[in-house]
Structures are given as structure tokens and as C-alpha cells.
Structure 1
Amino acid sequence: INKGIGTDNLVLEPGYSIIRIAYNDAPSSLSRFGAEQMINDFDQKDHFRELEFFTPGGGIRGSIITTLYLIFFTLLFALPIGIGAALYLNEYAKANRFTKMVRSFIETLTGVPSIIYGLMGLAIFVPFIVNITSATGGNILSGAMTLAVILLPVVIRTTEEALKVVPDDYRYASLALGASRTQTTFKVVLPSAVPGILTATLLAIGRIIGESAALVFAIGTAIKDEIRITEQSTSLAVHIWSMMTDEPANIELSSTIALIILMIVLVLNLSIKLITKRFMKRYGVIV
């Protein structure tokens, strides 16, 4: 579309269409008077006030894929660090002022609003991913790193509580049989704490799926079907937020997404419980 000499060209690709057009001195002709009046006005006007397009896609397929990516990468970042920190604090660290300070710091992080983490992700993780990949802004990897920081206090505290539940008799018996401290930790204590660690994982997954404030900054709100981990996209929770802030709000789609979130959480809960049961049977863990 070219209006006037020296103005920019507007090219519509296949699948795109104009659904609203407004001029400086008139209301939206398409929304009020229909396409015919819009075309007549278009021939007489020189300046546009607003253009609104219908673009292909916009369903929830991309949001589901993005949410699954976030679950995978966030757990990949958070679980090793969180479980390792819990093992150190509970099994190796001495009870002194330093460990008390670390635990106090972890508890403080739990109460920080998630939007603060989102700003941190925008300031730290987004530029980091942009520098090492082809990303140009918020992306799935920076969102996963931001969520990992949010979840670390939960994973550490829950795992540490699971390790404390393991009877000391298990440790003493293993050491008495000649096992080293490291062998005792990873062959006896850690397998016995698996149910608690899986609980931490479930809490983490629920937080990942339900988080929205932090992801608005760290990953963006782009709703699309083709998903790449170094590009902007949106999770299911952010998709609900986007639909409810539209004018008018899309309550039907938001309710559908909410049901899908509940189904995903239910399936993941059942899957993790099944994995835990098989793990306990394989290693003979009695809880």
C-alpha cells in the first residue's frame, strides 16, 4: 500500500489481512461502516491514524510447546544446582555462621516478587543469550534461566527437608560397612530422599507453568506457532494474560488454556509418581 510520494510501502504477505483502519480525522471506517466505506475513504485520505492486522497463527500450539520447553530447560538448570546445594548444606557443611547466613539468604529469596526476577532476567540473562546466540531479544533460554533462579530456593529447601527425613541409622550403617562419605551420600542417602526430591520437582513444575509476571520481561508476549528457543514466544500463563488484556477480553480462550494447564499438571503429577514408584521398587527404598 503506497499513499503519497516519499512514504513507506506497506506490503501484506499471503494470509495477512487488514481488520481495522482509522484516519486522523475520522473513526475506524472498517469497524463502523464496513469494507466498502473503508475502500472509498482510502482513496481520499492521505494519513493513517491506526492499522490493525489479522495475522496467521495465534492459537495455543506455540504456547504449549513454549511451556514444555520452559519446563525442560528450567529443570535442567535448577535441579542440579538446587540438589547439589541441598546436599552440601545438609551432608557436608558445618553448622556455623556461614551456613546460617546462606540459609537465611535462601529464605529471603523465596519472598522476592517474581516481577523483580523478571527485571533481573531482562538485565542479565537476555543480553547474555543475545551475545552467545542469534537471539535479538527475550527468548525461551533467558526465560528458563530466570525461572531457574526463582525456583532455586524452593528446590533447595524442599530437597534439604527430604534429606533430613532420612534416618541417621542409614548413614551410620553405611559408614560402618566401609563405605566412604561420598558413597553413603549418593548410594544411600540420596536414593532414600527421592520422594522428597520429586515433590520439589512437582512444586517447580507447577511454578513454571503458572508463572507470568517474570516471563513478560524475560521471554516476551509474542503469540506464534513456529517456536525457536532463541526467539520470543509466550507461555500458557502469559497467553491467558494476553487474552484477558485484549479489548474485548477473550474469556472462552482463556478458560480453555486454563483447563489445558490443569491437564498438563495432572499428567506430569501422575508421570512423576509412577517414576518414583518404579525407582523405589528398583532400589528397595522404603519410606
Structure 2
Amino acid sequence: MATTATTHPNENKTLVDQNKVEKNISSRITKNKVLKWVFFACTMIGLLVLAALLINTLIKGVPYLKPSFFTNFSSSMPQMAGIKGALVGTLWLMITIIPISIILGIGTAIYLEEYAKANAFTNFIKISISNLAGVPSVVFGLLGLTIFVRGMGIGALSLGQSILAAALTMSLLILPVIIVSSQEAIRAVPKSVREASYGLGGNKWQTIYKIVLPAALPGILTGFILALSRALGETAPLILIGIPTILLRLPSSIFDQFQAMPIQIYNWAKMPQEAFQHVASAGIIVLLILLLAMNGLAIFLRNKFSKKY
């Protein structure tokens, strides 16, 4: 007598569920592979464009990187044009920006994270600072022109097209980035470290100065130097506050007029003579070297203090 095998309904359901799971996993694996190659293609396109720009800049600019390029002022003749005034003026600008940005940016971050009470007003300030980080640089240029260059109509407060006026304007531009990055670095320090300091008898400021700031220093320094790199490459604010494109003398104080490398490069790039495009490329190479040096310093300091603390 023949017997027929019967399949339990639960077994059929289990098989169907397994097939669905296998199809779902297969679909996800396929999507993952496709998206992986899409992201890889996007990365390669960006790198190829960057490489093309760098190669083109190097081919045009390297022949003009002669000793005379660093010792001559700007000139109406390409073969005589140099970057001496712009390079020295940019160094003056950086030296002036650094103390202003450090004091205001890190001080604000310490107050907001360690001293300010958590209320609606403090939250409004934090949100406003975060939003200011995305404001176009031309807006800060207009603000600097109104407040620092023209002094709001009061002659005694007018700084003119001086290094100090440009440094204050550029400091306003990068302060939101410095404040936000410093806040995140301070916030990342564990509360247990603070509590240990209080338990050993340390007061609020001693805990901040000797415990919190050293631990947060790598993040603070990285954010600060990257923000300073942004200020070094900005052109729009300097154009708006009227920084001269040609100045045949070096500044001797922060109240003197000066040249800046972004303005100088912009002026060369818009010249009709083709030779000036090569001179502009040489200026771009010098600016890139300066930026890479600053970013390298940021990485070195971050690694150094990360190991120490």
C-alpha cells in the first residue's frame, strides 16, 4: 500500500521566508557593489580634476619661481613682476589674525561650554554662531567695510585699508568655525576628568586651564589652523574693504596699507597678457605651499598633543 508524503504548512512558510531573505540579501549586495563603484567614480573624478589643475598650474608657474620672483614687487611687465609685497603683507595679516582669533574664539567656546547656563538665550547664541559659519564671505567683507574701514562715519574709529582692519574682518569670517570646533573639542572631554579635578580640590578655572584645555587642545588647534587656512585664501572680503592691488612698499606696522597674495593673484589672473597667467600660476604655487605647510602643522600638533594627553 503506497503512502504519500505530506508537507507541513509551517515548513512551506519557512521556505518562502528563506527565499525572500536570500533575495533581499542578494539585492542589497548588488546595490552595495553598484554604489561602491559610483562613489569610487565620484572620488576619481574629483581627484582627476584636482590633478589636472595642479599639473596645469605647475607647468605654467614653475618656470617663474626664480629668486627675483620673491624679491621684486608687482610690476606692469610680467618678467619683472614679483610677489615680495604680497607675501610679506600676507604674513603680517596672519600674525595679526592669530591673537585676535585665539582670544575671541577660544574664549567664547570656553564661556559657552563651561560657564553659560543652559537656557533659551544660550541656545540661540549657539545656533546663531553655527549659522554664521555658512554665511558667504562677501557678507563679512561688507561688515568689515562698514565697521572697520569707514568706522560707521566716525573718523576716529576708521582704520582705512590697514592690516588691522583686514585682520578684524577676516577674524569675523573664521570666528564661527573656531568657536564651533573648540566647543566640540571641549565637549568631548569626559565629565569624569572634571569631577576628578574637583575631587582633588581644584576650582573651576584650574580645572579648565590645567585639565580641560590640554585635553581639548588637539581639536582646538586643528580647527583653528584650518580656519586660518580659509582666511588666507579668501579674496572677496579683501576686495570689498579696498586692499590695494599694487603697493611698492612694505608695511611697518598693523596700521599701514598692505598687499595680500589672493588679491595679487586675482589681479594677475585678470590681466590680458598671457604671460601674467603664468605669473599668477607661480603665485598660486606659493600660496598652496603656504597652505599645505599650515595644514601639515595642524596634523603635527594634533598628533603630538593626542599622544601626550
Q: TM-score by structure 2 length?
A: 0.68
**Which position in structure 2 is the counterpart of 1:253?**
279
Aligned pair partner of 1:242 in 267, 271, 277: 267
**Which position in structure 1 is the counterpart of 2:199?**
176
Counterpart contact for 1:222–1:232, Cα < 8 Å: no
Q: Please identify which structure carries the higher helix content.
A: 2
Alignment of 1:16-95 (within 5 A): 54=76, 58-95=81-118
**2:112 and 2:169 mapped to 1: Cα distance?**
23
Dislocated runs of 4+, deviation >4 Å:
53-58, 128-135, 272-281
- Does residue 159 of structure 1 match 2:185? no
- Structure 1 residue 115 displacement after superposition: 1.1
- Which segment is superposed worse, 228-237 or 208-217? 228-237
Distance 1:280-1:131 versus aligned 2 partners, 3 A rule: farther
- SS where residue 173 of structure 2 aligns? helix
Distance 1:277-1:181 versus aligned 2 partners, 3 A rule: same
- Does residue 263 of structure 1 match 2:286? no
**2:280 and 2:178 mapped to 1: Cα distance?**
30
Distance 1:134-1:124 versus aligned 2 partners, 3 A rule: closer
Q: Please identify which structure carries the higher strand content.
A: 1
Alignment of 1:169-248 (within 5 A): 169-228=192-251, 229-248=254-273
**1:221 and 1:58 mapped to 2: Cα distance?**
16
Counterpart contact for 2:162–2:257, Cα < 8 Å: yes
- SS where residue 193 of structure 1 aligns? helix
- Structure 1 residue 277 displacement after superposition: 5.3
Counterpart contact for 1:117–1:150, Cα < 8 Å: yes
**1:88 and 1:134 mapped to 2: Cα distance?**
30
- Structure 1 residue 106 displacement after superposition: 0.7
- Structure 1 residue 55 displacement after superposition: 8.6
- SS where residue 111 of structure 1 aligns? coil
- Structure 1 residue 182 displacement after superposition: 1.1
Aligned length: 230
**2:174 and 2:186 mapped to 1: Cα distance?**
18
Computed over aligned residues only, the root mean square deviation of the Cα atoms, in angstroms, reads 2.6
Amino acid at match of 1:260: V
**1:272 and 1:104 mapped to 2: Cα distance?**
27
- Does residue 124 of structure 1 match 2:124? no
**1:280 and 1:97 mapped to 2: Cα distance?**
34
- Structure 1 residue 279 displacement after superposition: 5.3
**1:189 and 1:267 mapped to 2: Cα distance?**
28
Alignment of 1:5-24 (within 5 A): none
Q: TM-score by structure 1 length?
A: 0.72
Gaps of 5+ in 1: 1-52
Percent identical pairs in the alignment equals 36
Counterpart contact for 2:81–2:279, Cα < 8 Å: no
The Cα offsets for residues 55-74 of structure 1, whole Å up to 9 and x where unpaired, read as: 99752111111111111111
- Structure 1 residue 216 displacement after superposition: 0.9
**Which position in structure 2 is the counterpart of 1:109?**
132
